[in-house]
Every structure is written in structure tokens, then in C-alpha cells.
Amino acid sequence: MKLLLLGKTGQLGWELQRALAPLGTLVALDRHEGGDLSDNDRLAATVQRVAPDVIVNAAAYTAVDKAESDAAAARQINAAAVGLLAAQARATGALLVHYSTDYVFDGSGDQPRDESAATGPLSVYGRTKLEGEQLIAEQGVDALVLRTSWVYAARGGNFAKTMLRLAAEREQLKVVADQVGAPTGADLLADISAHMIRGALADRSLCGTYHAVASGETNWHQYAQHVLRRAAAKGVALKVQPDQVEAIPTSAYPVPAPRPLNSRLDNRRLQSRFGLVLPQWQTGVDRMLDEIL
Ligand SMILES: NC(=O)C1=CN([C@@H]2O[C@H](COP(=O)(O)OP(=O)(O)OC[C@H]3O[C@@H](n4cnc5c(N)ncnc54)[C@H](OP(=O)(O)O)[C@@H]3O)[C@@H](O)[C@H]2O)C=CC1
Ligand SMILES: Cc1cn([C@H]2C[C@H](O)[C@@H](COP(=O)(O)OP(=O)(O)O[C@H]3O[C@@H](C)C(=O)[C@@H](O)[C@H]3O)O2)c(=O)[nH]c1=O
Ligand SMILES: [Mg+2]
């Protein structure tokens, strides 16, 4: 069995290099090795050359604010290239594995959304990720689309690491407390992906869209405090103590791209259909912090 992994250097791509290796022959590429999602012709040639049984796409345009003024690039990477991968997979019978986001939703209400909930992205990033999902659906290809949220990893850039840096450098830290969701580890996501690929190869009726997030919920302010408490307990020198992080409303943190307030995703479908358990978000965050601190 041959697997093609795109975006191998990102948070998720790095963990997928580990988690996918035991499944078969893994060809992992970055943008300089024929895996550039901004070049459809080269990408098509790469897929044809590799002739994979499974295409795993961990590459994406993830700079949420930058995307607002760079929509064409975000759309090419998050949608057009995904449509091409879907067409290639459809033509060859390969399984396509792709990742999407809580930002495809408008974030209204206070209940978790399941996979059938109406989408309504608020940002260019969210819109282009939704377009990617739609292009996969239009192809009618066998695919696993995993919508996740608030991804972190020991390797790469993420909110937890930003908080550790800012709390060590600055005198003051203000963090939004009215956006609710679940931080999800790239390591967990990669391990789940490997299980799901094996399941879907054995039974293609398992293909579909799944909410792949850690269990439980928090908000960015509580998450920041959680991270800083763990750091303080380990003796990390902080200028801003955990209890000094100021909770602010989203309206007090102006940014180019609007974020959904309710990012709660219902992960029960994935757990029941694949017989997997998605741990509470704190488990993976604490492990990541133990690793990096
Ligand atoms: N990060 C998050 O909080 C969340 C992410 N997701 C989704 O999960 C998936 C993985 O995200 P994550 O690992 O965190 O993202 P990262 O930003 O850590 O990694 C993105 C990867 O995409 C690559 N990439 C960007 N542009 C191109 C291109 N033109 N050609 C090839 N590769 C490219 C980057 O390569 P390079 O380093 O060369 O730029 C990088 O390896 C994505 O689909 C994302 O939308 C969903 C919810 C939350
Ligand atoms: C740095 C900082 C951020 N914030 C806010 C901004 C934002 O609402 C929230 C999180 O900040 P980030 O920049 O990490 O947010 P963002 O980049 O929007 O994170 C998102 O990335 C994409 C790729 C996804 O798919 C989403 O699931 C989500 O993880 O915290 C503060 O309130 N204070 C701060 O000092
Ligand atoms: Mg970000």
C-alpha cells in the first residue's frame, strides 16, 4: 500500500509522518518536493508519478487574518488544489483524507454542532476551507474529511506557544473569553487518521465528514490560563502570572478576520462509527507542555 502525504512540515503533517509510516510505503512531500498546492499542474504530475492508494492532505493556508487580504492564494491552496486532489483520487480509486475546520461555521448559539449542521463561514479562511469540502463532495470521491479545531503540537506555531512567549515578554496579556471550543492535538489527530484510514480502506461506507476534536470545551482565556499555570508550576519565569491574564470580549480584540464565538463540535459520530475514544482536551495539552517546557 502506498500513501502520499502533502504538507509534511506543518503541525499535523509532522505527526502524520510518524502515524502513517506503519500503514505502508509513505511518500511525504513538502512544497519544494513536488507537493506545492499553488501549482495544480505540478501537483497533478506528482500524484500521477506517485500513484498512491491513499492521498493525505495536511497542507493548507492557515494564516486566518492574512487570508482576508490574500484571498486568491488561500482559495487556490484551500479549495482549487483540493478539488484537483479529489479529481485525481476519483480517477484512480484512491482514498482521499483531508482536514477542515470549525471556522466553516458561523458560531451562533451555544450548543455543539454535528456534521449535518448548516455551515456559514465568517472569514476568507473559513469560506475557502468550506469550498475545499464542497469540491470533494462534488467529485463523489471516497474521502475522509476531518473537521478539527484549535490545533496545537510540540512542533510548529500555535496559540499555547504564543501565550508562553507573550507571558514571558510582556507586562500585560488580554485574551478573549467568549470564543468557546476544544484545543486538539496534532498527535491525536494523526493517530485517529491512521485508524480511520485502515477502517475506511476495509469498509468504504465509513467514508464521510467527521468532527475530529478532543472532548470537553474551554475558551481562549481559560486555555491561556491553563497553559500558564502549568508553566508556572514547572518554574518557568513569567512576567504575567496566570491569574493576571485579563479576560476580554471579542469586540475588544480587533482583527481582520471575524472568528466564530461557538466553535463547539460534536465528536460523537467519529467515536461511535470508528470505535475510538477522544480524550478530554487537557490530556493532550498537558502532555505537549511537559514535552516543550
Ligand atoms: N492550526 C489550526 O488551528 C487548525 C488547523 N486546521 C486544519 O488542519 C490542517 C493542518 O493544519 P496545521 O498542521 O495546524 O497547519 P500548519 O499551518 O502548521 O501547516 C500548514 C502546512 O501547509 C503547508 N502549505 C502551505 N501552503 C502550501 C502550499 N502552497 N503547498 C504546499 N504546502 C503548503 C505549510 O508548508 P510551509 O511550512 O512550507 O508553509 C505547512 O506545512 C489544515 O487543513 C488546517 O486548515 C483545522 C482547524 C484548526
Ligand atoms: C495572541 C492573542 C490572541 N487572542 C485571540 C485571537 C483569537 O480570537 C484567539 C486565538 O488566536 P489565534 O491567532 O491562535 O487564532 P486563529 O489563528 O484564528 O486560530 C484558528 O486557526 C485556524 C487555522 C483554525 O482552523 C481554527 O480552528 C483556529 O485554531 O485568541 C487574544 O485574545 N489575545 C492575544 O494576545
Ligand atoms: Mg493562527
* Residues 253, 255: Cα–Cα separation, whole Å: 6
Catalytic residue of the set 99, 103, 125, 223:
125
| Angle ∠(108,105,101) on CA atoms, nearest 5 | 140
CATH architecture of the region 2-157+184-215+265-278: 3-Layer(aba) Sandwich (3.40)
Return d(Cα 146, Cα 132) in angstroms, integer.
Answer: 12
Query: What is the structure's pLDDT at 134?
Result: 98
Which residue of 98, 119, 170, 253 sits with most ligand 2 atoms within 8 Å of its CB, as the best mutation to test the pocket?
253
Segment 110-151, tens digit of pLDDT: 999 999 999 999 999 999 999 999 999 999 999 999 999 999
What pLDDT does 55 receive? 98
47 pLDDT band, cuts 50/70/90, is very high
Per-residue pLDDT, averaged over 257-270, amounts to 98
Whether 125 is a known active-site residue: answer: yes
Choosing from 55, 61, 62 the residue with most ligand 1 atoms within 8 A of its CB, the one to mutate for a pocket test is 62
Distance from the alpha carbon of residue 290 to the mean position of ligand 1, in angstroms: 24
Give the nearest ligand 2 atom to 250 CA.
8
101 lines ligand 2 (CB under 6 A): yes
Residue 126: its pLDDT value, please? 99
Which pLDDT value is given to residue 187? 98
Mean pLDDT, rounded, of the chain: 98
Interval between CA 159 and ligand 2 midpoint (Å)? 6
Give the model confidence (pLDDT) of 186-230 as tens digits.
Answer: 999 999 999 999 999 999 999 999 999 999 999 999 999 999 999
Instruction: Please tell me the predicted confidence (pLDDT) of residue 53.
Output: 98
Say what the pLDDT of residue 218 is. 98
Q: What is the pLDDT of residue 213?
A: 99
What does the block give as the cell for 85? 486532489
CA–centroid distance, 207 to ligand 3, in Å, is 29
Q: Which atom of ligand 2 is nearest to the CA of 166?
A: 35
242 alpha carbon – ligand 3 mean position (Å): 21
Dist. CA 3–CA 1, nearest whole Å: 7
Query: Average pLDDT in the 70-77 region?
Result: 98
Compute the average pLDDT of residues 71-88.
98
For range 36-50, the mean pLDDT: 97
d(CA 284, CA 13): 17
